[in-house]
Amino acid sequence: MDGAGAQYRSLVRDLKWNNVAAELNPWRMSVAPMMDWTDRHCRYFHRLLSRHALLYTEMVTTGALLHGDVPRHLRFNVEEHPLALQLGGSEPADLAHCARLGQDWGYDEININCGCPSERVQRGAFGACLMHEAPLVAECVKAMVDVVDVPVTVKHRIGIDRDESYGFVRDFVGTVADAGCKVFIVHARNAWLKGLSPKENREIPPLRYAVVHQLKQDFPHLTIAINGGFITSEQVHQELPHVDGVMVGREAYHNPWWLSRWDAEFYGSAVVDMSRESVEEQMVQYMEREAQAHGTPWYAIARHMLGLRHGLPGARRWRQVWSDHRLKGLPAREVWTQAGAC
């Protein structure tokens, strides 16, 4: 267990799990777990931009940890703290085993996915379809809480299919909270389990922030963070009086420079002198270390920072250099030099 992780977990255990000061609330700002995107390289990049935002892994299934390459799935950089592991599964014993693995590897939080609507996830009997089985989710949470000291949290939707009754999500949260979950990250859309792609499920079901606000009013002792549709600081500021935190998804990936303002805007930290160029240089150094330590090709890392110059003149040409397959045989530093000429 590394020192940074131990210090963070000690802080979390001391929380009263309600509206705490911004600097003590780990869930005030976070970056959502996103499949194929929020791997350890992406998270290292995001940590260069914000010291305080809570970062989440891609969803890792219990089957991958029980039968696959555990180090490949759980290895991370110490700089990534605070860091949460999101698990996908529905068997209490399997989730408990994997939660304990996550804690042993140094993760600061274990999150269970009850929000993903994809058919592939549904075939595994987890994700958003679990909201139909609140007692099972509660059993899973209790099994995990019983074996770890770090927080066990749940990410979920506000409803399933076209059922928009508030009672459904209220009862889900109440049942799972009784099992020991104190933190809920709520995507403020229903999950339509049939007829929509995962992309459409992020866009077509309407956002209903008021439902999440009502959850916070009805469960003031719980930590409630909201997710869905956040692309500006103004939106975040509008939500923070109503909930304990905001989770940002794809905007954090496509426009990552936004994260560089979070520490000052949402945590009251001193403004850090940072430039896109200095962040890019640190990423090149990281690419070189990764290549030497693990044989990681630079382009597996560079793909996560292609939004760094979002909205700036020359950004398109810069992205083209860093994603040019013809340059894959060059060292990262040479590609950086070419990109810098844009």
Cα dihedral sign for 210, 215, 218, 219? negative
d(CA 207, CA 77): 35
Range list of H helices, 162-306: 166-178, 198-201, 209-218, 233-239, 250-254, 262-267, 276-294, 298-302
d(CA 203, CA 287): 34
- Which amino acid is present at 15? L
> Is the Cβ–Cβ distance between 84 and 112 less than 8 Å?
no
Which residues, 6+ apart, have CB-to-CB distance to 11 below 8 Å? 24, 26
Q: Rg of the chain over CA atoms, in angstroms?
A: 20
Dihedrals phi, psi of 126, to nearest 5 degrees: -145, -170
Query: Annotated catalytic, 116?
Result: yes
d(CA 173, CA 181): 9
> Is the Cβ–Cβ distance between 46 and 256 less than 8 Å?
yes
Catalytic residue (choose from 98, 114, 116, 181)? 116
Cβ-based neighbour number of residue 210 at 10 Å: 12
d(CA 49, CA 52): 9
Please state the separation of Cα 261 from the chain's center in Å.
18
Going by C-alpha positions, the residue among 189, 194, 152 that lies closest to residue 169 is: 189
Bond from prior residue into 33 cis (ω within 30 degrees of 0): no
Task: Kindly list the catalytic residues.
Answer: 116
